[in-house]
Amino acid sequence: MSGGEFDLIRNYFRDATAQREDVVLGIGDDCALINVPAGKHLAVSMDTLVSGRHFIAEVDPVSLGHKALAVNLSDLAAMGAEPAWVTLSMTLPDADEVWQQWLASFMQGFSALAACHQVQLIGGDTTRGELTITVQAHGFLDRGEGLRRNAARDGDQIYVSGTLGDAGLALQMQQGRQIKVNDSAYLKHRLDQPTPRLALGRDLLKYATAAIDVSDGLVADLRHICTSSGVSAVVHVEKLPLSDAVSHYLNESGDWALPLAAGDDYELVFTVPLERQAAFEAVITQWDLRCTWIGSIEISEPSSQVKVVLPDGKIIDEVSGYDHFNA
């Protein structure tokens, strides 16, 4: 990180995030220096958001700052990791007053979410070009722990947190599609300011085998688990947890592809072995965040299929998810 151009971000960000004791040297030198606790794995995840692809150019910058951090913290959540530090690279079209104001707003959303999770920004880069945001998040896991995609086994039960399709429906409305819903503000919030399920991820270390966050769509992301684990999945559409708004929309439209294929909800989908299911069902009754059973893992040929059971009992086995290069 060369110093001169980073002053731009430093002005908006120094002291804006939590100051952590394990940060030896933060923003402003060639490198940041940090201390990882003994006995921990360091978990790292990097995600890039590009204007016009991952968000619209007119997006509220406060929300975008939240989301840029949230999607990375969501990857830590899907491993069960505890977040610690982040780096941020911003490519901005200009450094004039308009963009400085934009950046101040972006940082407001970014730092508010960082504060919620005691996350410190330790460095990064700023360059000029098409608006592009890259964040790398760093967190801890006890050695030997971690919810991996390859850990699902025959007979595991599949659960998902929260509700599905909210962000997808908001995206359709943003794209100009006329849809009658009761609570468009709720849907917009779900799209613009997703909640990384960090506490859930850590709690799941005791119960779950595999986990992934729903960024590309339930079926697409579940297929990653199936591919990595060499298994298949059966998902019951009628069991999918839906908000009132999406439920109402589905009743009118019959568009079941929405909660199956739409991305951006950043809920966790995960597998629980049969022998832990009773304990898990007992404990989730205490949790504020709903976790819903939606299906099970099986061994079938070819493996890595996700079979979807429709309300009429019909089974389909191909639902496309979001792909950044085909969308």
Contact 288, 157 (CB under 8 A): no
Residue numbers 115-144 binding its own copies by CB under 8 A = 122-130, 132, 134, 136, 138-139, 141, 143
Which of these ranges, 13-21, 105-113, 147-155, 249-257, lies near its own copies under the rule CB under 8 A? 147-155
Beta-bridged to residue 296, according to DSSP, are 157, 234
* Contacts to its own copies from residues 82-101, by CB under 8 A: 87, 89, 91, 95
Report how far apart, in Å, the C-alpha atoms of 71 and of each of 7, 18, 48, 101 are: 25, 19, 9, 23
- Which residues inside 256-285 make contact with its own copies, applying CB under 8 A? none
Q: CA 13, 19, 22, 27: dihedral to nearest 10 degrees?
A: 20
Stretch that binds its own copies, among 4-12, 106-114, 186-194, 285-293 (CB under 8 A): 4-12
Site for its own copies in 210-249 (CB under 8 A): 211-213, 215-216, 220-221, 224, 228
Q: Which is nearer to its own copies, 156 or 264 (CB)?
A: 264
Tell me if 28 contacts its own copies by CB under 8 A. Answer: yes
Q: Residues 6 or more apart from 53 whose CB is under 8 A from it?
A: 324, 327
Cα–Cα distance for residue pair 26/43, rounded to 1 Å? 19
158 lies in the binding site for its own copies (CB under 8 A): no
149 binds its own copies (CB under 8 A): yes
Q: Which residues inside 5-24 make contact with its own copies, applying CB under 8 A?
A: 5, 8, 24
| Binding test (CB under 8 A) with its own copies, winner from 9, 13, 17, 45 | 45
The set of residues, in sequence order, having a beta carbon less than 8 Å from that of 322 and lying 6+ positions away, is: 215, 216, 217, 220, 261, 262, 263
The letter for the amino acid at 201 is G
